[in-house]
Amino acid sequence: MKTCTIPRSYRKLLKRCAQKYFPGEEKALLSKADLIYDGFRKETPSIGGRENLLASNLDMAMTFFAFYEATGRRVTREMFLEVTGWMTEKLGFLKKLFDYNKPWMAKLMYRIYIPYAKKANGNKQNGKWNNTWGVVINPEGYTEGCSFHLVGCPLVDFAKKHGYMDFMPHLCELDHAMAALMNAKLLRNHTISAGADSCDYWYVGSRSNATKEEPHHD
């Protein structure tokens, strides 16, 4: 079976992190991370691959978990936020393409997520996508922005299995950075990693006056 190595885009970020925080270890750390990542990929059931809009999130998580493990779990929250900061800097061009301050943006997202929810929930129910996220569209009935809940989380399942729950809140924080790339704010009350049954997502424009109590871990 072909060996899976960490994707090139993430590899550059992890190499930069290793060079800054673990000088002299970068080659060994990346080689070890590749082996761990390969093991993760081979042991983890598919959640739909390219057919699943959110499947790449699990692959991203396994990449960061592999590096975290390779370093002897020495990656701190501050280090991880710096790495994801480098990542979002490279994606800065998205701000010119997506703007939640404009009504068309929320309409576009609903046009994507409503049919996706039907597909994901169906494939989850029949077991084809294993433990993928279930999706509930706008259960609170918000009239502004775009809202949905993700029910169940393969990232949390993976983190619990491997003892990485201490790292999960850092991954959850990344949702806010990604929202900013769409000129949006993510307003959230609960996450599965903090013990809830679902993660709520409510995206509003960055200039919105909408308010909502944020969870302490975000």
pLDDT digits (tens, 9 = 90+) for 16-30: 999 999 999 999 999
Instruction: Evaluate whether 65 touches 167 at the Cβ level (below 8 Å).
Output: yes
Instruction: Evaluate whether 147 touches 63 at the Cβ level (below 8 Å).
Output: no
Going from the N-terminus, what domains does the chain have, and what CATH number goes with each? 8-205 (3.90.1520)
Reported pTM: 0.93
Give the model's pLDDT for residue 215: 42
What does the DSSP 8-state code read for residue 75?
-
Give the model's pLDDT for residue 4: 86
Q: Residue 185 CA to chain centroid, in angstroms?
A: 16
The radius of gyration of the chain from alpha carbons, rounded to an integer in Å, stands at 18
Locate 216 and state its tokens: 């302490």
pLDDT higher than threshold 60 for residue 45: yes
Tell me whether residue 176 is exposed, middle or buried, using C-beta atoms within 10 angstroms of its C-beta: 0 to 12, 13 to 18, 19 or more.
middle
